[in-house]
Amino acid sequence: MSELWLVGIGTGHPGHVTLEGAEALRRAAAVLIPRKGAGKEDLAHLRLAILRAAGAAAKVIPFDMPLRDPALPYAERVERWHDAIARRWQEALTEAPDGPVALLVWGDPGLYDSTLRIAARLAPVPKLRVVPGITALQALTAAHAIPFNTVNGAVTVTTGRRLRDHGWPAGAETVVVMLDGDCSFQALAPKGRHIWWGGFLGMPEQVLESGPLAEAGPKIVTRRAEARARHGWIMDTYLIRQGA
């Protein structure tokens, strides 16, 4: 493998792939497709649908994603998981023909995604090309038809874990939360805060909810649980604004 191309594919809609991304998929000699186990076959099928929509004829090389060890401390758990994923990539790449290999990355490879960190573990490290994609942040604000920021206002992007552990970021007006499987907004005082939430953004299964945090929060918890039970997985994110 001479090059590894990390192509951002947005949040599930084939139209999220940019013209540059579609061209990269057509030019790739092979594409790595992760398999995430029973109940999550949709994720592999979506990637294959995106390849078809782009007109790609690359060799498809599937690989099984390893599981995290829940018994380990968080930082060590993630570190070992990344090591294991890199080994799976290395094994899968032995089947790749000559030429660039593409990996379809949910959202954008540079935003709350570890693909670049995992690629750095390969030996030898290939030449990397990153093709940006539509982020969950863009898909969320577009779905709700709201601006990302207030006039001259800053936005804090954080994780559910940090929101639970540290509360509302000091001085923040708008907070966007990624990677939150526990609806951590429940730990916040709701007064004066408005939330916009979305799951399966950009997909036919898209679900949205918004309103004052005190009213919309419980609805989001219920709708998220129902959607996850129905599909076996969910990707979601939300924006909270103070004084909205």
Q: What is the pLDDT of residues 157-168, one digit of tens each?
A: 999 999 999 999
Find the radius of gyration of the CA atoms of the chain. 19
Which residues face 242 on adjacent strands? 193
One CATH from 3.10.20.740, 3.40.109.10, 3.20.20.150, 3.30.950.10 for 137-242: 3.30.950.10
Query: What residue has token string 């790595």?
Result: 32
Name the architecture of domain 3-134.
3-Layer(aba) Sandwich (3.40)
Q: Judge whether 22 and 57 are in contact, CB under 8 Å.
A: no
Task: Fill in the DSSP letter of residue 16.
Answer: G
Instruction: Kindly report the pTM of this predicted structure.
Output: 0.90
Banded model confidence at residue 44, pLDDT cuts 50, 70, 90: confident
Task: Fill in the DSSP letter of residue 214.
Answer: H
> What is residue 158's predicted lDDT score, i.e. its pLDDT?
96
For the chain, what are the domain ranges?
3-134, 137-242
229's tokens: 């039970």
Banded model confidence at residue 37, pLDDT cuts 50, 70, 90: confident
CA atoms within 13 A of residue 106's CA, in its CB half-sphere: 20
**Each residue's pLDDT tens digit, 161-188:** 999 999 999 989 999 999 899 999 999 9
